[in-house]
Structure formats: structure tokens, C-alpha cells
Amino acid sequence: MSHDAHQPAQRVMVLYTGGTIGMQASASGLAPASGFEARM
């Protein structure tokens, strides 16, 4: 098995399971935010 440290990753899987990184402030507190992919 060869290890090539200079080859860039072609895909990255992100499993978002909730939490404050996907929330935005609202008048009622934190609410789910849209556009999470664009903010990554």
C-alpha cells in the first residue's frame, strides 16, 4: 500500500448531526439555519 502525501483529497464527507454550528440567532433564540453547505 503506497502513501502519497501530495495527492489532494477529491471528496470530503461531512456528517452534520446538529448543534450550534448549524444554528442562527432569532427573536426566539437559536433556530436551524439554511445554507450550511455554503458556510463550510
Residue type, 2: S
Q: How many Å from the N-terminal Cα to the C-terminal Cα in the chain?
A: 32
Active-site residue identified among 7, 10, 17, 20: 20
The yes-or-no answer on residue 17 being catalytic is no
Q: Where are the beta strands (DSSP E) in 1-40?
A: 23-26, 29-32
Q: Which three cell numbers stand for residue 5?
A: 502525501
Catalytic residues: 20
